[in-house]
Amino acid sequence: MKGPTHPSARRDRAEEARLAQLLDRLAAAYPEAKCSLHFTNPWELLVATILSAQCTDERVNQVTPALFARYPDPPSLAQAPLEELEAAIKPTGYYQNKAKSLQMCARQLVERFGGEVPGTLEELTSLPGVGRKTAQVVLGNAFGVPGIAVDTHVRRLSQRMGLTQQTDPFKIEQELMQKVPPADWTLFSHRMIAHGRAVCTARRPRCGECPVADLCPQIGVAG
C-alpha cells in the first residue's frame, strides 16, 4: 500500500501540468509566430538582429533592403566607408556604435570564417557585437538549431508567468531550457515575444484578453 504523496511532489506535478497547459495555449494563440525580421540568409539575419537592439523590428525591416543591396556579404561591409555605413543605418538608432560593431563583426567573419556566418553558439558569441540573444536568434532561425533568445519580452513574461525569478538573461535562459522541451525552444521565444507585444505589454498588460490568465500567478502586475 502506497503512503501519502509528499506535498513537494504534488507541487511539482501541479507545476508541470500548469507549464504544459501554458505552452499549449501559447501555441494555440500564436500558431504562426516567427521571427519578424526579414532575411534570406544567416548574414542578413545577423546584421538585422544587431540593428534591432533598442529599435523595433519594423524599423529595421525598413532599413535593411537598401543596406543588403549595398553590402550583400561580410567582405563588402568590412570594406565600407564607416560614414556611409552610419548613414545607411541611422534610422535604427545608436548608429555609430552599431556601425562599428557591424564592421568589426564583418571583418572577423572574413578573417576567421572565410566570410561565412558560423553555426555554433561559441563561434557566434566570439564575434564583436554578438551576445547570446543575437546568437540564439541566428541559430534558431537561420540554422534550425533550437535555442531560447531572452529579449525584453521573454524576460518580462517569464517572470510574470512564474517561470523564473531570475533577472539575469543568461540565468533566465538556462532555467527556461530546463522547463521547455528542446524542440520548442525557438518557437517558444517567438510565441512569448508575440504575446508580449500583443497582450502582456510592459506598462498595461491586457489580462482580460490573455489566453493564459488563469495560469498566471501575477495577473495585472506590470514590470
**151-210 pLDDT per residue, tens:** 999 999 999 999 999 999 999 999 999 999 999 999 999 999 999 999 999 999 999 999
Residues with a catalytic annotation lie at: 133, 151
Q: Which domain holds residue 95?
A: 42-130
Contact (CB, 8 A) for 159 and 148: no
Question: Both 77 and 116 in a single domain?
Answer: yes
CA distance 205 to 198: 9
**pTM of the shown model:** 0.91
165 located within any domain: yes
Looking at residue 166, which CATH number applies to its domain?
A: 1.10.1670.10
Cα dihedral sign for 167, 146, 182, 198? positive
CA distance 151 to 122: 19
Question: Both 65 and 115 in a single domain?
Answer: yes
Position 215 scores a pLDDT of: 95
- Phi and psi, residue 128, nearest 5°: -60, 135
Question: Both 121 and 73 in a single domain?
Answer: yes
pLDDT in tens, the chain (223 residues): 555 556 677 778 999 999 999 999 999 999 999 999 999 999 999 999 999 999 999 999 999 999 999 999 999 999 999 999 999 999 999 999 999 999 999 999 999 999 999 999 999 999 999 999 999 999 999 999 999 999 999 999 999 999 999 999 999 999 999 999 999 999 999 999 999 999 999 999 999 999 999 999 865 444 4
Measure CA 81 to chain center. 30
Measure CA 62 to chain center. 20
